[in-house]
Amino acid sequence: MRVLGIDPGSETLGWGVVESIGSKYKLVDFGTVRSSPRAAFSKRILKAYEGLFEIIDRFEPSVVSVEEAFYAVNPSVAIKLGQVRGAILLLAEQKGLEIAEYSPRLIKKTVVGYGNADKRQVQEMVRLLLGLKAIPEPHDAADALAIAICHFHHAGLTEKLRAQKLKPR
């Protein structure tokens, strides 16, 4: 299985591709799609959409794992994040990909073991879990890798539960 993790953002969208090898996973690639904060918001959404379109075509993931919207003090920030997420979800549906969504707290708890972990802790755990020599930069890409790793942990649990339900008693 190959998972594309996405940390949504209208100026910097982080992405990371991780694939499973047996019961382990390994890094394929990661990066960001950046837009100018001075560009019209609709142009930033388009840039994120087109950038992810190319990434999906290049890496052919079977799953897109996206960070859920979180509470923001500024409502306009939350609305814009929701619009970016909508474009991501639309693209994944158009491409026929499985979609998984995880809360920021669950991602941190899964990867770091602590739901209130800071950016540096997430980066360091991603480095350790993927066997990297340096922490992934920028933090948006590290967050995207954490989202993909989170999916591997929870998808495995879901599959085990599904298999248990199918076994005759």
Q: Active site residue: 57, 68, 118, 140, which one?
A: 140
The span from the CA of 98 to the CA of 158, in Å, is 14
100-135 core/surface letters (b: 16 or more CB in 10 A; e: else): bebebebbbbbbbeeeebeeeebbbbbbebbeeeeb
107: closest CA among 159, 145, 157, 156? 145
Q: Is 118 a catalytic residue?
A: no
Q: Active site residue: 67, 98, 124, 143, which one?
A: 67
Task: For 81, list phi and psi in degrees, rounded to 5.
Answer: -60, -40
Q: Is 140 a catalytic residue?
A: yes
Q: Is 7 a catalytic residue?
A: yes
Q: Active site residue: 7, 57, 60, 98, which one?
A: 7
Element (H, E) at 5: strand 2-7
Any idea which residues carry the catalytic annotation?
7, 67, 140
